[in-house]
Amino acid sequence: MKSFTFWALDATVLFALSLVYLHQGYQRKNVFFAVWLCDGVLMQLIAAWGLAAGPPSWMPQLRACEDILAYALTAGVLITAALHRDCAVNRSLLCGVGAMLALNLLGVFLGVHVGRSVQVWLRNIAFFGPAMFMLVSFSNIRLDMLPLWIRAAQESRSVRWAAGAALATVTFAGGVRGSRR
C-alpha cells in the first residue's frame, strides 16, 4: 500500500511539474527536460494501465529500456543546463535533476543490500524531494518570501483596522456636527 501511495504521489507531482514547466514556456530553455517530463508522464500512464489491466508480459523489458532512456535524457538535461547555467531555469534543473540522479544512484547502490519494498521507497524518495523543489521553483510560488508576506499581511491588517477606526470616528464626528446645526 505504501508503494502504491508513493507511486500515486509521484505521478501527481510529475504531472503537475510537466504542466507548470510547459505552461510557463520553459521548454525553450531546456528541451531535454521537456522530453524527460513527457517520457515520465507516458510511463506513468503505462504503469497505471498495467495496474488496472494487469501487468503485460513486456512490462519488464519496457522498464529496462525506460531506465536507459531516462538516464540518457537526464544526462542531456544536465549537460544542457551546465552549458546554459546563466539561466535561472537551468540552474534549478542542475540542482533538482542533479539531486534526483545522485539520490537515485545512491538508492541503486544501497538497494542491493535491502529488500524490494525498500528499493521502491528509495527510488520514490529520490524523485519526490527534488521534484517538489523544482515544482516550487518553476511555479514562482516564492516560498522564500513567506515570512515577508506574513509580516506584510499583519501590517496591512493593522493599517486597515486603524483606517477603519479613523473613518468611523470622522463619520461619527460629521454626523454629530451635522445634527447640531
Looking at per-residue pLDDT, the higher value among 63 and 158 belongs to 63
Tens of pLDDT, residues 115-138: 877 777 777 788 888 888 888 888
CA pair distance 111, 119, nearest whole angstrom: 5
Tens of pLDDT, residues 56-77: 899 999 999 998 999 999 999 9
Q: Is the pTM of this model over 0.85?
A: no
CB 30 within 8 A of CB 90: yes
Average pLDDT across the chain, whole number = 80
In the chain, where are the structural domains located? 2-141, 143-181
